[in-house]
Amino acid sequence: MRSLIRINRNRNDLRRSTPQVLTSVKASPALGRQTRAFRSLDEGTYIMFIREMTEEECIAVVKSGRLARLACSKDDRPYVVPIHYAYAGRCLYSFSMPGRKIEWMRANPRVCVQLDAFSSAQQWKSVLLYGQYQELPETAQWHNERLHAWSLLQEHVNWWEPGGLKPGLQQTLGASPHVFYCIGVDEMTGRAAVAEDRG
């Protein structure tokens, strides 16, 4: 069962601008699991359908994107940062300078990544990835994987942003402090929204 929500937007009546659940409707098997939300706008009424995406659809969104939000945690404290990434073989590759997120992921490698494809407030796709952090150090064991990460990332202009930039003056080191890493994807879920105009 899913909720049918009607939202009225009237500047002269604050109560009407509050979403109200009117009834419940069953999801259509043909469209998959979905939520329907009625919204009354100045220009008309539409129905929004929100459905769960297949893994193939999720992968397509991930492959077409470049910017995501990485969530990690340490000692029950969450931390979310933007990252640039490249995706291949169920791995999300990225790059960073040493800092809080690297420190926290070393302590707790279980992370979550969110990304989206946004067309409008009524038409969007959002994907969540759950996985494990794996650092790719400059060692013989990880040499090939590190080069693979670099080769994928360097296909994009300014691929080292924002991970390679930090505010303030940086100490000049003899050895590169840059950290390449990957997120091995264990689980992937997504939702897509589309609006049907009702005039």
Question: Mean pLDDT in the chain?
Answer: 77
Strand, helix or coil at 133?
strand
Domain final residue, candidates 11, 28, 52 = 52
Is there a single domain that holds both residue 87 and residue 151?
yes
Domain final residue, candidates 52, 72, 91 = 52
Is there a single domain that holds both residue 29 and residue 90?
no
Taking residues 83-94, report their average pLDDT: 94
User: Residue 165: what residue type?
Assistant: L
Is there a single domain that holds both residue 43 and residue 67?
no
Is there a single domain that holds both residue 85 and residue 143?
yes
DSSP classification of residue 1 = -
pLDDT class for 180, splitting at 50, 70, 90? Answer: very high
Please give the pLDDT value at position 157: 67
Domain count, the chain: 2
In a domain? residue 171: no
- Which residue range is the domain that position 35 belongs to? 2-52
